[in-house]
């Protein structure tokens, strides 16, 4: 079974690339983030023509998540139970489903903007709600994983230059403590340390030179329970998908399971 996650940074302009990638990589399940459209506007038919069922959750111009599956799509939940709101509004940042006996959640964690910003406090509260959800899901006896754009680099070597992020989000102690809480709950990063590759970054800013010079970050993650991570036979960042004309600023992560 092949499971993947990808922040596509707007599904409509990225659709031709996504369809091509689905045909060539053939994941059984693909979690998407940053759709930037509504649930109703998700391009279901082109994806369905490749054999995928679709569960999407979008509320407008920003955010948006989805799960595509060839192995079933059951018990779909849109939004985290008890999740916080920002400026009095809910955001489409999480969707869960059971696919081929594996419970997956596609998540797009708030950016946080900068420490001290109300969005930063919202980010930490959102991660706490994700921790609560993980605790509930871990009680079930089945493979379970949270996949997506966490907007947090777990460790110093998950950014190209720590000094470049001084005073910024993504590397602060409270954000990393929130990720540690997920691990303490019973989830494990599918990229165990020491890292298999020197710098398996997943995000590179669009500014000139960042991608070819590998000035990136590892902020897209796959955290699974023992039943999930114990079945992993391979995992990699598909850096090739970041190349070419009109890419997302993120690369997909692909995880193969012995199922």
Q: Where are the domains of the chain?
A: 2-257
Rg (CA), the chain: 17
Domain 2-257 has CATH 3.40.50.740: no
> What global pTM score does this model have?
0.96
pLDDT number for residue 18: 98
pLDDT number for residue 167: 84
Using CB atoms within 10 Å of the CB of residue 15, give its burial: 0 to 12 exposed, 13 to 18 middle, 19+ buried. middle
189 annotated as belonging to a binding site for a ligand: no
Q: In sequence order, which residues have a C-beta less than 8 Å from that of residue 196 and are 6 or more positions away? A: 235
9 annotated as belonging to a binding site for a ligand: no
pLDDT number for residue 62: 84
Q: Work out whether strand 102-108 and strand 144-149 pair parallel, antiparallel, or are unpaired.
A: parallel
| Token couple for 223 | 């955290």
Q: Can you spell out the DSSP letters for 23-76?
A: HHH--SEEEEE---SBTTTS-HHHHHTTT-EEEEE-BSSS--EEEEESS--EEE
75 annotated as belonging to a binding site for a ligand: no
With contact defined as beta carbons under 8 Å apart, do 29 and 69 qualify?
yes
Residues taking part in catalysis: 108, 149, 250
Nearest CA-CA partner of 30 in 257, 252, 193 = 252
Give the chain's residues under pLDDT 70. 193-199
CA distance 199 to 168: 20
CA distance 192 to 197: 11
pLDDT digits 0-9 by tens, 87-125: 988 899 999 999 999 999 999 999 999 999 999 999 999
pLDDT number for residue 197: 57
CA distance 5 to 67: 9
250 annotated as belonging to a binding site for a ligand: yes
Question: Residue 16's CB: how many other CB atoms inside 10 A?
Answer: 10
Q: How far is CA 51 from the centre of its chain?
A: 22
Nearest CA-CA partner of 94 in 104, 103, 84, 105 = 105
7 annotated as belonging to a binding site for a ligand: yes
Question: Residue 80's CB: how many other CB atoms inside 10 A?
Answer: 21
């Amino acid at each position: 079974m092949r499971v993947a996650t990808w922040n596509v940074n707007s599904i409509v302009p990225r659709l031709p690339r996504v369809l091509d990638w689905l045909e060539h990589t053939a994941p059984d399940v693909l979690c998407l983030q940053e759709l930037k459209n509504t649930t109703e506007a998700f391009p279901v038919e082109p994806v369905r023509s490749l054999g995928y069922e679709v569960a999407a959750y979008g509320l407008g111009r920003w955010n948006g998540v989805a799960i595509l599956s060839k192995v079933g799509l059951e018990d779909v939940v849109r939004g985290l139970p008890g999740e916080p709101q920002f400026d009095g509004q809910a955001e489409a940042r999480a969707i869960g489903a059971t696919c081929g006996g594996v419970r997956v959640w596609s998540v797009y964690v708030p950016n946080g903007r900068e420490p001290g910003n109300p969005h930063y406090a919202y980010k930490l509260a959102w991660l706490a709600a994700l921790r609560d959800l993980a605790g509930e899901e871990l009680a079930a006896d089945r493979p379970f994983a949270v996949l997506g754009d966490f907007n947090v680099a777990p460790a110093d070597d998950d950014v190209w230059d720590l000094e470049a992020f001084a005073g910024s989000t993504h590397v602060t102690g409270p954000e990393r403590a929130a990720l540690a809480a997920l691990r303490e709950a019973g989830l494990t990063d599918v990229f165990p340390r020491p890292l298999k590759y020197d710098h398996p970054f997943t995000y590179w800013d669009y500014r000139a030179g960042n991608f070819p010079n590998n000035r990136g970050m590892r902020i897209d993650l796959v955290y699974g329970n023992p039943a999930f991570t114990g079945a992993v036979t391979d995992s990699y960042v598909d850096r090739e998908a970041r190349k070419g004309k009109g890419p997302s600023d993120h690369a997909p992560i692909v995880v193969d399971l012995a199922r």
